[in-house]
Amino acid sequence: MSERWSKLAERVKEAIEEEKEERRKASLADEERRKAELAAREALIDNLVRFSEAVGHFSVDRGERRVRLALGDRWFEIDASEPEVRVAFEGADAFTPQLTRASRLRSPWMLCLTVEGEARWLPFFDAGLEALCSIALQIELPEDSSAYQALLFTRGTGAREKLVIIEDEKAKSDEG
């Protein structure tokens, strides 16, 4: 004859074991996300180094999860070693740059530049990187370069200047 509480004990035991299994699965999923994030950050830095090699005119200072591209005394740096990927360049405060991983979008990395209070999100490869080259390295790119469109900003001189950052034409052609 079984004890009156034996079925209850069985149900409680199953509930505890299910909860342990859910925690184990969640822990494994967290570890997988962490590994994927590290791999994406390493790929970001690798791609920036390969980009600079393809251009051939930048000096490169690379760390484990950091890269600084310079052209003369102008530079920008991507530091992916912190929880938030840091984008730095002279005058960056005017843009509050953020680089965010957006794994569900066509572009795995998105650059946000805040200009005159308005956030502009650009796929990092190519529009965001083009923006950094234009803003931070002061490289004048042709108006039709790589297919990106207008972003206005003010430089420290107080003179109003226009910078052409072009939207992804693929998105336009997809819409039309």
Domain residue ranges of the chain, discontinuous segments joined by +: 6-175
Predicted confidence (pLDDT) per residue in 124-164, tens digit? 887 889 888 888 998 877 666 543 443 434 333 332 233 33
Q: How far apart are CA 15 and CA 105, in angstroms?
A: 38
Query: What pLDDT, on the 0 to 100 scale, is given for residue 120?
Result: 81
Q: What is the mean pLDDT of residues 66-93?
A: 91
Greater model confidence, 82 or 85: 85
Query: What pLDDT, on the 0 to 100 scale, is given for residue 145?
Result: 55
Q: Residues 6 or more apart from 62 whose CB is under 8 A from it?
A: 45, 49, 68
- What's the pTM? 0.69
- What's the chain's average pLDDT? 79
- Among 70, 88, 144, 156, smallest CA distance to 164 is for 144
Query: What pLDDT, on the 0 to 100 scale, is given for residue 10?
Result: 92
pLDDT at 18 over 90: yes
